[in-house]
Amino acid sequence: MYNSFFDGTKVAVEMCAVANATGLKPDVPRMHLPTAEVPEMPAVLRPKEEGGILEGTGVVETVSSLYPDGSSVERDLSLGVFAVTTTPDQRVREYLDQYAGTGLYTADDGKYQLFYRPYHLPGLETTVSVANAAVRNEPTGTPRERVGEVVAAAKRPLEPGDELDGGGGYTVYGALVGAGTADEKGYVPFELLDGATITGEVDTDGIVTYEKVELDTDSFLYHLREIQNSTL
């Protein structure tokens, strides 16, 4: 699991959960994942025509805390959570700008804001979610629709007979794509591939498809996925 933090799998799974819970689609397949410090994010996570990197608005995206050489940015996102917002109302922009630097950052033009909390508490938050579901029958988050899918990209050239491991392993890493793209191209959901056997060649960074893999159709996860698919 530790390695899945570094190969992109964990962030793909988390952003997929956000996408499906909110209905916000991935901006591009595999996400942009630009390197950025927290104060820079309102200037980076905005549409291209306004100087940012995004193809549009109403999307899920995040940033990397590492430079290409592996060194860390000074003010990294790290354990934090965030949302980038905008408003057409100049009065609201000016009001929000008054609070800049207190967990809220604004772009230089004031049009985009970053609401940032520098921590999350999975050890507590997860147990509270489990307890609420078991005791109160209350969900923490309910998927609105299936808009994102985590698929598997090859870490190295894969050959017939290769057995796949899970996130953080030696063979594949998780990548977020749109659910429609995954269905159209026959991409296999990442969670179904642990222990699967490759039947066709897959290039480095290529996506594993149904026609190039033999799945364990007796696995618990495979049957859970079948149940999920039947409800969509």
DSSP secondary structure, 155-213, as one string: SS-B-TTPBP--TTSSSEEEEEEEHHHHHHHTBPBGGG-TT-EE-S-B-TTPBPBGGGE
Cα–Cα dist 165/154, whole Å: 11
Measured at the CA of 215, the angle between CA 211 and CA 217, to 5 degrees, comes to: 130
pTM here is 0.90
pLDDT at 79: 86
pLDDT at 136: 96
pLDDT tens figures, 26-61: 999 999 999 999 999 999 999 999 999 999 999 999
pLDDT tens figures, 165-189: 988 999 999 999 999 999 999 999 9
Instruction: Report yes or no: 78 and 5 within 8 Å, Cβ to Cβ.
Output: no
Cα–Cα dist 110/112, whole Å: 6
Measured at the CA of 39, the angle between CA 68 and CA 74, to 5 degrees, comes to: 45
Domains defined for the chain, CATH in brackets: 24-122 (no CATH), 148-231 (3.90.1210)
pLDDT at 5: 80
- Residues paired with residue 154 on neighbouring β-strands, in sequence order: 172
The overall average pLDDT reported for the chain is: 93
What stretches in the chain show pLDDT beneath 50?
none
